[in-house]
Amino acid sequence: MLALDMKKIDVRSDTFTLPTDEMIQSIVEAHKNNRFGDDVAGEDEVVNELQDKAAILLGKEKALLVTSGTQGNLISFFAQTRRGDEVVVENHSHAYVYEGGAMASMGGLYPKPVEGVRGYITPETLREAVSPDNPHYAKTSLVVIENTHSFSGGAIVTLEQTRKLSETARELELRIHVDGARLFNSAVAQNITVEKLVKDVDSVQICLSKGLSAPVGSIIAGTEEFIHEAHRIRKKMGGGMRQAGIIAAPGIIALEKMVDRLQEDHQNATLLYERLLQISQLSVVKPDTNIVFVFPENLGISANEFSVLLKDRGVLVYGAYGTKTRLVLNRMVSRDDTLYVADAIEEIVKNVTS
């Protein structure tokens, strides 16, 4: 148990970011100006503004507010497939591992997991994964890119990689969806716009409540036809919301004000990596964005035991990702906090190895 006066630094996930004062004030202002309405009827002005803004930002015809990234992914899958179809996913992707098997249990879709290269499904792997056009097999109809790829340490999928995979998908007559829960991290790291990054894909999901710091919500975007069908599916999934402008108002601030500052998280992740790289007993992965993976097995302790020792020093991490521990830099973690985390890990290593 943490002492009451102990410093607490939460690097479990960027989902633990809190909304800014401006986000909270945006809800109040929208209420004062009588801008809330029934979103199921399309009458919430703030939701409509957010959706229009997101569609323009992503370079798509239309966008739709959904409750979460998982719901956004599922709606996107269901709107572009038929029950019994096969969906190609990377074998450590969020859509395959961390969404409760809903692709299959709710949508009747058959996930086909394949091995990626730092989370990226190569065109060659995709070609091999597509099932023959034969009644003995499920029809392959969709491929999913996760950008950034969480299990690979926030690894980016580059513009060129996305373009090549999209070309292959088109050739194979497949739809392509981007699970872009941290898409803005990828775009900032590559110094390009998100519009360029998803130009060649059919649908995309972005999360407002991770590094962008909104309290809740995600956006999906694509063609007008796709969003029309997505509306229907969202309603079926219980995602029809009423005065959803309460969610949308902070989301607008997230898109307008919180993108460029993601670079601070990337810089802190690099700072942490460089500090930990000096500890010879640790293996650490160089981050592309805001996630640092540490392998503590050389210390003779498990990743779960390592997380307990960190908690004793006020640093909160999730348990094991296999044999590694994940540290996610975010808006709530300052440069000084990052140095504190590095010091805590250095102290643990000295105590364990002495």
What band does 321 get if pLDDT is binned at 50, 70 and 90?
A: confident
Quick one: how far is CA 230 from the chain centroid?
Answer: 20
What band does 209 get if pLDDT is binned at 50, 70 and 90?
A: very high
Domain that holds residue 99: 21-257
pLDDT over 90 percentage in the chain? 94
* Dist CA 76 CA 162 (whole Å): 18
Q: At a CB cut-off of 8 Å and minimum separation 6, what does 343 contact?
A: none
325: CATH: 3.90.1150.10
pLDDT for 239-289, tens place per residue?
Answer: 999 999 999 999 999 999 999 999 999 999 999 999 999 998 899 999 999
Residue 5: per-residue pLDDT = 62
Residue 259: per-residue pLDDT = 98
Q: Name the domain boundary from 208, 233, 257.
A: 257
Q: Is residue 4 part of a domain?
A: no
Average pLDDT over residues 306-333: 93
Q: Is the domain of 244 the same as that of 269?
A: no
pLDDT for 102-136, tens place per residue?
Answer: 999 999 999 999 999 999 999 999 999 999 999 99
Q: Is the domain of 26 the same as that of 144?
A: yes
Residue 342 pLDDT greater than 70, yes or no: yes
Q: Is the domain of 271 the same as that of 245?
A: no
User: Would you say 295 and 323 are in contact if contact means Cβ atoms under 8 Å apart?
Assistant: yes
Q: Is the domain of 250 the same as that of 325?
A: no
Average pLDDT over residues 71-75: 98
In this structure, the strands spanning 315-316 and 291-295 are unpaired
Q: Name the domain boundary from 234, 257, 280.
A: 257
Q: Name the domain boundary from 257, 281, 315.
A: 257
What band does 18 get if pLDDT is binned at 50, 70 and 90?
A: very high
ω into 148 cis (within 30 of 0): yes
Q: Is the domain of 85 the same as that of 138?
A: yes
Residue with tokens 């790291």: 189
Average pLDDT, the chain: 96
Cα(first)–Cα(last) distance of the chain, in Å?
25
Q: Is the domain of 319 the same as that of 302?
A: yes
Structure tokens at 210: 């991770």
The residue among 339, 276, 323 whose CA lies nearest residue 151 is 323
Rounded to two decimals, what is the model's pTM?
A: 0.95
DSSP string, 272-290: HHHHHHT-TT-EEPPPSSS
Average pLDDT over residues 195-215: 98
